[in-house]
């Protein structure tokens, strides 16, 4: 199958989540005896774009920065048609949700979001999807000729090689597209590490007592090179900025390590963090629901545990 991967660019390079999408797309291509082409829209040098080859892509098609979301969908639709692609893969994100849904409509193609594994192509095209905020899985068979997939983070272990891919710059006329949904500016989160792509996240809840008590958590995050996050009430109370709020109604994260400090573990919080590989919970209440979802639990006061953890990390 001819696979097209929609890769997002940030700060002049391919986003980490998109690297995983490329690796996934290349696996689908090799599983079905096809090619893996990347479509990247934004700003990046040819050398950076060529690195898509590290993850298995055989070609990169590049379209320079575009502000109009409708134009993204138009470009994707045109490239799917011109390359004869039958599978489109993207990392799940706010942008890919908007773009893939519109392209699926234009192409009359089936769209599966939250895909958690490689497709089963032994009889048709069936994907496993995470549903009900991660509480269940659905097997979805896509019967259209073109299938669009948005994959969840951490669904495949990425191993990068050293191959590079040739880059071709395309020019696609999008002037007729409706400009009602435009990216006017991008405001970067202030944290040192980007939350959606972080390998380690240290997160605080109401158990942190107030914004003036956040320093022990920030110290641990700094020692670990981690991003910081929080529960919804914490951002509602303005203890922490809204972009740190994780959960059903916030950012969905899937780091290798999620450390929850003084968070009860409500289902709406778990919905945004339960794809993390290892979850560590620090809570003074041994009955806190979060312990049921934890790989490691520390029953104790965050203000006693956090400084000890930070000291131990620094000692390592």
Ligand X SMILES: Cc1cc2nc3c(=O)[nH]c(=O)nc-3n(C[C@H](O)[C@H](O)[C@H](O)COP(=O)(O)OP(=O)(O)OC[C@H]3O[C@@H](n4cnc5c(N)ncnc54)[C@H](O)[C@@H]3O)c2cc1C
Chain contacts with ligand X (rule: CB under 6 A) = 205-207, 231-234, 247-250, 262-264, 266, 268-269, 272, 282-285, 288, 301-303
Query: From the CB of 294, what's the least distance to ligand X, in Å?
Result: 12
Compare residues 86 and 264 and give the one whose CB is closer to ligand X: 264
Query: From the CB of 206, what's the least distance to ligand X, in Å?
Result: 4
Compare residues 99 and 280 and give the one whose CB is closer to ligand X: 280
**How far is Cα 279 from Cα 256, in angstroms, rounded to an integer?**
8
170 and 79 Cβ atoms separated by less than 8 Å: yes
Compare residues 113 and 247 and give the one whose CB is closer to ligand X: 247
Query: From the CB of 208, what's the least distance to ligand X, in Å?
Result: 8
Query: From the CB of 269, what's the least distance to ligand X, in Å?
Result: 3
Compare residues 42 and 272 and give the one whose CB is closer to ligand X: 272
Query: From the CB of 59, what's the least distance to ligand X, in Å?
Result: 39
Compare residues 9 and 280 and give the one whose CB is closer to ligand X: 280
| Three-class HEC string of the chain | CCEEEEEEEECCEECHHHHHHHHHHHHHHHHHCCCEEEEEEECCCHHHHHHHHHHCCCEEEEEECCCEHHHHHHHHHHHHHHHCCCEEEEECCHHHHHHHHHHHHHHCCEEEEEECCCCECCCCCEEEEEECCCCEEEEEECCCCCEEEEECCCCCCCCCCCCCCCEEECCCCCCCCCCCCECCCCCCCCCCCCHHHCCEEEEECHHHCCHHHCHHHHHHHHHHCCEEEECHHHHHCCCCCHHHEECCCCECCCCCEEEEECCCCCHHHHCCCCCCCEEEEEECCCCCHHHHHCCEEEECCHHHHHHHHHHHHHHC
Query: From the CB of 299, what's the least distance to ligand X, in Å?
Result: 9
Compare residues 233 and 307 and give the one whose CB is closer to ligand X: 233
Query: From the CB of 231, what's the least distance to ligand X, in Å?
Result: 3
Residue of closest CB approach to ligand X: 247
Which single residue is written with the structure tokens 């104790």? Answer: 300
Compare residues 117 and 266 and give the one whose CB is closer to ligand X: 266
């Amino acid at each position: 199958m001819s696979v097209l991967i929609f890769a997002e660019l940030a700060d002049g390079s391919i986003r980490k989540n998109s690297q995983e999408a490329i690796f996934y797309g290349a696996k689908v291509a090799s599983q079905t005896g096809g090619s893996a082409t990347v479509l990247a829209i934004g700003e990046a040098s040819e050398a950076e774009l060529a690195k898509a080859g590290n993850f298995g892509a055989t070609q990169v098609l590049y379209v320079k920065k575009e502000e109009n979301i409708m134009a993204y969908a138009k470009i994707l639709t045109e490239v799917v048609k011109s390359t004869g692609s039958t599978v489109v893969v993207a990392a799940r994100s706010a942008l890919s949700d908007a773009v893939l849904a519109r392209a699926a409509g234009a192409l009359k193609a089936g769209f599966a979001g939250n895909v958690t594994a490689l497709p089963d192509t032994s009889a048709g095209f069936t994907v496993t999807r995470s549903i009900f905020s991660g509480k269940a899985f659905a097997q979805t068979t896509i019967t259209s000729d073109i299938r669009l997939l948005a994959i969840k983070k951490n669904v495949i272990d990425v191993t990068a090689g050293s191959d590079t891919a040739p880059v071709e710059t395309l020019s696609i006329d999008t002037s007729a597209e409706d400009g009602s949904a435009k990216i006017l500016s991008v405001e970067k989160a202030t944290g040192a590490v980007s939350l959606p792509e972080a390998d380690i996240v240290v997160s605080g809840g109401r158990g942190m007592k107030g914004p003036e008590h956040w320093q022990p958590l920030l110290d641990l995050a700094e020692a670990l090179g981690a991003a910081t996050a929080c529960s919804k009430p914490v951002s509602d109370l303005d203890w922490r900025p809204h972009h740190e709020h994780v959960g059903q109604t916030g950012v969905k994260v899937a780091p290798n390590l999620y450390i929850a400090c003084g968070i009860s573990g409500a289902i709406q919080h778990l919905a945004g963090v339960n794809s993390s590989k290892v979850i560590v919970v620090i809570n003074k209440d041994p009955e806190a629901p979060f312990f049921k979802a934890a790989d490691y639990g520390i029953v104790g006061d965050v203000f006693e545990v956090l400084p000890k953890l930070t000291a131990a990390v620094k000692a390592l």
